[in-house]
Chain A
Amino acid sequence: MTIFTDYTLRTILLGTMSLGLFCAILGSFAVLRRQSLVGDTLAHAALPGVCLGFLLTGSKAPLPILIGAALTAGLAMAWVRWITTKTRTDWNTALGIALTSLFGLGVLLLSLIQRSPSANQAGLDTILFGQAAALVQENVIAILIVGIVATTILVRIRQPYQLLAFDPDFARASGLNTARIEFLQTTLLVAGIIIGLNTVGVVLLSALLVAPTVAARPWVRSTTQLLIVAAILGLISSAAGALISVNTPNLPTGPTVVIISTLAVALSQILYSLTHRKKSTPEMKTA
């Protein structure tokens, strides 16, 4: 098995697997709160930040680019909340507005960058589709650090978080600082997106955040079970996707992982339908 000896293959596999694991965990509560498309919006809104980071520093150093990405993604979320609270616009439309216009701003900035004579911007647009093959060990370490920190925070704030997910009115009535939890939720999703940009790119990221939770959902009875099962499913589908893609010429890793994750959802749903005839999904305990 060259996978354990070859540096490139090992890096791709480790990077994709840890990404699948952490994205599954970080996306789980967004899916429960019926905000599955937030991840997609945040990912698209990261593009202008990436361009700004590059424009301001003139280099492709990862740190300013990632900070820029996190900033504009966070800005997008603040904008969405502003739209939904201050106008009669619904949540879906607000997401669509933020997604398309910020991505448009990114395209605008890209055209500005491409015009400049110092054009060493080549590869800046790989964040659109990601390039797992270009992963290096530092990327994997970064994914692990961000993922572990974000997961720890999520596990620590799990109690109020799930109260907000299942009964937002009660959460507000019992004096919970919902604004702070909303902010943390956005931050955690942004963290997941930042680590995913290099590997699967903005268009496909939402699948990694959403699919494992949807696949796990019929089989679990509590959020703890959900987090564990989704994490395992995320890990397995990314590993399978990465293994298949590195062993097939011309098969890109990101899209392959997305296909495998979606197939996992289909399999989970079919198996559930076959084993639980005429029963709806079990209710989840909130405690």
Chain B
Amino acid sequence: MSPLIWIYIITGLAGFTCALAGAYLIIRKSAMIADAISHSILPGLVAGFWIANGPNLLTGLIGALLSGMLTVWLVEFLTSKRRIKQDAAIGLVFPFLFALGVIWISLDFSNVHLDTDSVLFGEVTLAPFDRLKLGGTDLGPQSIWLLGFALIITTAFLTLFRKELKLATFDPLLATVSGFTPIALHYGLMTIVSVSTISAFAAVGAILTVALVIIPAATARLLSHRVSGVLRISALVGLTTSFLGTWLAFTFDLSISGMIATLLGITFSATAVLAPRNGILAQTKLRQRDQINQAIQALIIHLEAHQNTPEEATENTISHLTAELGWSNSWTQTVVQSALAKQAITQSGQTLAPGPNAQSFWQN
């Protein structure tokens, strides 16, 4: 297969896996821990490099996973005494571990190819050439195997602990009473996030990995209220944005990870505005409709009060409404038009009267 197709497969797989792993992270409102993990795996990678005395897949992965879990544990530990808040703990732990990594590299490996830039940015264009070889046979790009492994683990965890995760997230107290500890699930979830982050970041870089963990799930949250919905939409957004971003980056000869991350930001904002039920536009429309409906109700009350009385001819006219109900001219126009259209009122000449739908309208 050509490297181009491999790149699409790698970014797509990274997008799918990270988005899936990130869903619960976003539902549990701990997005920034993903940012912390992605930065603080650096010293673990360096340690793996140091132990194997050179680039080695296995020691690097184990080191990265261990330092990812160390980050989670340190944040838990610092916040456990309630003296340090979670945000401050995260803001302390990951710069510390990242700084350790940078110092270690500059002290021991300044001549070796272990580039902090590429840790942050990633170089997916090179990923297809990093092959996994076993006993002389070429098994394809290493990233595919890593990401495939991460995807299997993530799916297995989310399927096996489906009920437990829901319970621990939405009712931690009941979860504790029911006999399993939410904290164990918390670490399980963090392991999933770490594994996905580590598998993805070698190909696409730390920052894009975090973008893929956070943004698809946050977008999905705007569109669905159900865990299963969030999981599905998140994975779909991660996958499609990765494909589209890769294609755009190739078309304009720009950074793939930069393009995907930018696209994710745009996707989220567009969804926030346009989402069918909870979008800003939909909400504004809903509010306007409510306002008009309330105004129509007030109008009907007024019309009914004066119907069949001597004052009807003066009270129940459009021109009188502005003064009576304190409405502006344009607002009165809007309300009357809408009420006429909905047959809540009828008009004969200048006089208005409750229409055939007035009663049913009032009940809404």
Q: Which residues of A contact B (CB under 8 A)?
A: 31, 34-37, 39-40, 44, 79, 83, 86-90, 92-93, 95-112, 115, 125, 128-129, 203-207, 209-211, 213-214, 217-218, 250-252, 254-256, 258-259, 262, 265, 269, 272, 280-281
Residue of A nearest to B90 (CB): A37
Interface residues of B in 253-292 (CB under 8 A from A): 253-255, 257-262, 264-266, 268-269, 272, 278, 280
Residues on A with C-beta less than 8 A from B87 are 34-37, 92
Min CB gap A175→B, angstroms: 26
Please measure, in the bound complex, the distance between the C-alpha atom of A96 and the C-alpha atom of B268, giving whole angstroms. 12
Main secondary structure of the interface of B (DSSP, over half): helix
Min CB gap A230→B, angstroms: 12
9 closest A-B pairs by CB: A104-B261, A101-B265, A108-B258, A107-B258, A100-B211, A255-B99, A111-B255, A207-B95, A96-B31
B222: interface (CB < 8 Å): yes
Please measure, in the bound complex, the distance between the C-alpha atom of A149 and the C-alpha atom of B75, giving whole angstroms. 34
Residue of A nearest to B268 (CB): A97
Please measure, in the bound complex, the distance between the C-alpha atom of A259 and the C-alpha atom of B96, giving whole angstroms. 6
Contact pick for B85, options A36, A218, A259, CB 8 Å = A36
Residue of A nearest to B104 (CB): A255
28 contacts between A and B (CB under 8 A): A34-B88, A37-B90, A86-B272, A87-B280, A88-B222, A89-B218, A92-B87, A93-B26, A93-B218, A95-B31, A96-B218, A97-B215, A98-B265, A99-B210, A100-B208, A100-B211, A101-B266, A102-B265, A104-B258, A104-B265, A107-B255, A107-B257, A204-B99, A209-B91, A251-B106, A258-B95, A262-B99, A280-B83
B95 touches A104 (CB 8 A): no
Stretch at the interface among B114-122, B154-162, B173-181, B226-234: B114-122
Please measure, in the bound complex, the distance between the C-alpha atom of A104 and the C-alpha atom of B83, giving whole angstroms. 34
Stretch at the interface among B32-40, B63-71, B144-152: B32-40
B261 touches A100 (CB 8 A): yes
Q: What 4 additional pairs, Cβ within 8 angstroms, besides A110-B255, A111-B258, A214-B88?
A: A83-B272, A129-B116, A259-B100, A259-B103
Most buried by A among B87, B98, B221, B269: B87
Residues on B with C-beta less than 8 A from A100 are 35, 207-208, 210-211, 214-215, 261, 264-265
Contact pick for A93, options B31, B100, B253, B254, CB 8 Å = B31
Please measure, in the bound complex, the distance between the C-alpha atom of A109 and the C-alpha atom of B254, giving whole angstroms. 8
Please measure, in the bound complex, the distance between the C-alpha atom of A269 and the C-alpha atom of B121, giving whole angstroms. 35
Residues on B with C-beta less than 8 A from A129 are 102, 116
A269 touches B214 (CB 8 A): no
Contact A107-B268, Cβ < 8 Å, known A34-B87, A101-B215: no
B103 touches A256 (CB 8 A): yes
B92: interface (CB < 8 Å): yes
B211 touches A104 (CB 8 A): yes
B313: interface (CB < 8 Å): no
Residues on A with C-beta less than 8 A from B102 are 129, 252, 254-255
Please measure, in the bound complex, the distance between the C-alpha atom of A88 and the C-alpha atom of B222, giving whole angstroms. 7
B91 touches A39 (CB 8 A): yes
Contact pick for B98, options A39, A86, A102, A204, CB 8 Å = A204
Number of A-B contacts (CB under 8 A): 195
B110: interface (CB < 8 Å): yes
Contact pick for B32, options A89, A95, A265, CB 8 Å = A95
B30: interface (CB < 8 Å): yes
A104 touches B257 (CB 8 A): yes
Residues on A with C-beta less than 8 A from B268 are 83, 97, 101
Contact pick for B99, options A34, A96, A259, CB 8 Å = A259
Residues on A with C-beta less than 8 A from B95 are 203-207, 258, 262
Please measure, in the bound complex, the distance between the C-alpha atom of A204 and the C-alpha atom of B191, giving whole angstroms. 24
Contact A262-B35, Cβ < 8 Å, known A104-B261, A106-B258: no
A103 touches B96 (CB 8 A): no
B96 touches A207 (CB 8 A): yes
Interface residues of B in 103-145 (CB under 8 A from A): 103, 106-107, 110, 116-117, 120-121
Min CB gap B270→A, angstroms: 12
Interface residues of B in 204-226 (CB under 8 A from A): 205, 207-208, 210-211, 214-215, 218, 221-222
A96 touches B214 (CB 8 A): yes
